[in-house]
Amino acid sequence: HNLKLEIGYWLIESLQKNGIITRSVAALVDYAFSELAINRVQINCAVENVASQKIPQRLGFILEGVQRDGILLTDGHFVDCEIYSMLKREWKRL
């Protein structure tokens, strides 16, 4: 209804640091904006997960703030998360 979506990602450690996630997220964002008519894409990253934060930063996403206890981890505890967003009108400028 609000023409927005959220992208999440995880990659086995042996395949990390090869640009796979960055390229994949860029392709998903392109598809969301061009084919699905989405207006906003959001990515949430745990504040301790610097590697995950680098993906939206590399792609020009805007850090909007920190959501307290925004992510429930598999071990059952919550962690704060950084909220990054990209709008369709911003992506076209890149």
Asked if pLDDT for residue 35 goes beyond 90, the answer is yes
**pLDDT score recorded for residue 89:** 95
Q: Go through the domains of the chain in sequence order and give each one's CATH number.
A: 4-91 (3.40.630.30)
Calpha distance 22→18 (Å, rounded): 9
Calpha distance 29→81 (Å, rounded): 20
Contact 4, 39 (CB under 8 A): yes
Query: How many Cα neighbours within 13 Å face the side chain of 49?
Result: 17
Asked if pLDDT for residue 93 goes beyond 90, the answer is no
- This prediction's pTM: 0.91
Q: Per this entry, what is the length of the chain?
A: 94
